[in-house]
Amino acid sequence: GAGVSQSPRYKVAKRGQDVALRCDPISGHVSLFWYQQALGQGPEFLTYFQNEAQLDKSGLPSDRFFAERPEGSVSTLKIQRTQQEDSAVYLCASSLFPDRAWGYTFGSGTRLTVV
């Protein structure tokens, strides 16, 4: 695709509900990243994939967060038993090569509100 596509754009979840956020990276991009951005803050790293391999998940805040990229393209970030502190914008980014000289291309994000 022309850009990184994320869905849904907005998600309201009741506390305790499970959610799944989808990311469609730019076709052929090897690297895929998930970031969490709270209001008025910079993006915070969650996890990184190179093709289907999850190379770094050190930023996932708890074991309620799980990400996968089974075929090396589309990725899903799943949050189980959502809490109010999970409310944020979840950004997905992709990059052509692991070398970040190209920078990351971010999607428009999914704004998650937990009520």
Partner 1 sequence: GQQVMQIPQYQHVQEGEDFTTYCNSSTTLSNIQWYKQRPGGHPVFLIQLVKSGEVKKQKRLTFQFGEAKKNSSLHITATQTTDVGTYFCAGNYGGSQGNLIFGKGTKLSVKP
Options 20, 44, 73, 96; binder of partner 1; rule CB under 8 A: 44
Output the CA–CA distances (angstroms, integers) from residue 56 to 12, 35, 43, 96, in the order listed: 28, 12, 16, 18
Instruction: Return the structure tokens found at 14.
Output: 């009741």
* From 7-15, 64-72, 78-86, 96-104, span contacting partner 1 (CB under 8 A): 96-104
Backbone angles phi, psi at 52, to 5 degrees: -90, -5
- Interaction of residue 80 with partner 1, rule CB under 8 A: no
Shortest CB 25 distance to partner 1, Å = 13
Q: Is 100 helix (H, G, I), strand (E, B) or coil?
A: helix
Report the interface residues with partner 1, using CB under 8 A: 31, 33, 35, 41-45, 47-50, 55-56, 58-59, 91, 98-109
